[in-house]
Amino acid sequence: MIVVLTGAGISAESGVPTFRDAGGLWEGHAVADVATPEAFAANPDLVQSFYDTRRRLLADVEPNPAHYALAQLEAAYDDGLVIVTQNIDDLHERAGSQSVVHMHGQLRSALCTSCGQQSPWDGDLAPHPPCPVCGRHTLRPDVVWFGEVPYDMEYIQHALLMCDEFVSIGTSGAVYPAAGFVSFAGATGARTLEINLERSEGSDNFGESRRGPAGMLVPEWVDEVLARR
Ligand code: OAD
């Protein structure tokens, strides 16, 4: 089985901005000002508008060759492929991938802080719409903020234990627990490969590191995997 971890770099060529390339700013905001529960408590309208804007921008972007190559690999590879993404966009799904775990949540989902239910969501949350399940006006973006526990960690750990190959694509290796997955998988004997535009904080932990744009290197790697079957 192969586990692929993706980060903002895989969506960069689709036009989705990464986090750390713009000097730690995300669309002009410090990550801590929009991606923490404290920021949401202090300034809910700013945080809602910020994610509303990003949700609307999904309509303007398309999957790129890296997303499509992973979907092609999943369809053709019999030994199992799990994509664990830190991204909150839906580009893996739109490229055709089915086995996608969104460990940091999703823009196209809303979480009710009253009833705890997640609801598919494509509109804005800033106007405080009612929760479709309980009717209270307490929806927030269904994204995992700093200080919160990522989704599906038990499933992810099991996949990392079982995999023969772990591949990290377009992530800076700066945010845990995702940054620790390579060591976890490597300790159980999995082959480890990093594909990233440049050297990352985690590069030394990988058995192999390839530098370049994901849109070029991921299709190349997928061809290699399919050729060696
Ligand atoms: P980052 O912005 O930290 O890192 C993106 C990485 O992708 C960098 O190492 C870039 O060099 C690389 N990159 C950029 N363009 C690329 C391309 N075309 N091809 C390949 N690589 C490219 O994004 P993440 O590592 O995803 O969490 O950030 C991890 C988490 O930190 C995010 O999920 C988010 C953020 O704060 C939360 O919001 C909880």
Amino acid 219: pLDDT: 98
Cα 133 to ligand 1 centre (Å): 34
In angstroms, the CA 86 to CA 228 distance is 28
Cα 13 to ligand 1 centre (Å): 12
Cα 199 to ligand 1 centre (Å): 12
pLDDT above 80: residue 204: yes
pLDDT tens-digit readout, 152-200? 999 999 999 999 999 999 999 989 999 999 999 999 999 999 999 999 9
Q: Is the peptide bond before 132 cis (omega within 30 degrees of 0)?
A: no
Buried b (16+ CB within 10 A) or exposed e, 71-108: bbbbeeeeeebbbbbbbbbbbbbbbebeebbbbbbbbb
Which long-range contacts link 26-32 to residues 24+ away (Cβ below 8 Å)? 27/53, 27/54, 31/146, 32/146
- Dihedral-angle region of residue 159 (phi above 0 means left; psi in -120 to 50 means alpha; beta otherwise): alpha
Percent of the residues in the chain that have a pLDDT greater than 90, as a whole number: 90
Domains of the chain: 1-16+62-104+149-229 (3.40.50.1220), 17-60+109-143 (3.30.1600.10)
pLDDT tens-digit readout, 98-134? 999 999 999 999 999 999 999 999 999 999 999 999 9
Q: Would you state the structure tokens that stand for residue 29, as one six-digit string?
A: 């905001």
Amino acid 19: pLDDT: 79
pLDDT above 80: residue 20: no
- Residues touching ligand 1 (Cβ under 6 Å) are 7-9, 12-13, 18-21, 31, 35, 86, 104, 144-146, 170-172, 174-175, 196-198, 200, 213-214
In angstroms, the CA 35 to CA 40 distance is 8
What is the maximum span of the chain, computed from C-alpha positions, in angstroms?
54
Catalytically active residues, by annotation: 104
Amino acid 67: pLDDT: 98
pLDDT above 70: residue 25: no
Amino acid 224: pLDDT: 97
C-alpha closest to that of 193 among 209, 179, 180: 209
Rg (CA), the chain: 18
Amino acid 33: pLDDT: 85
Amino acid 21: pLDDT: 67
Q: Would you state the structure tokens that stand for residue 75, as one six-digit string?
A: 């369809």
The mean of the pLDDT values for the chain is 95
Q: Indicate the pTM of the whole model.
A: 0.96
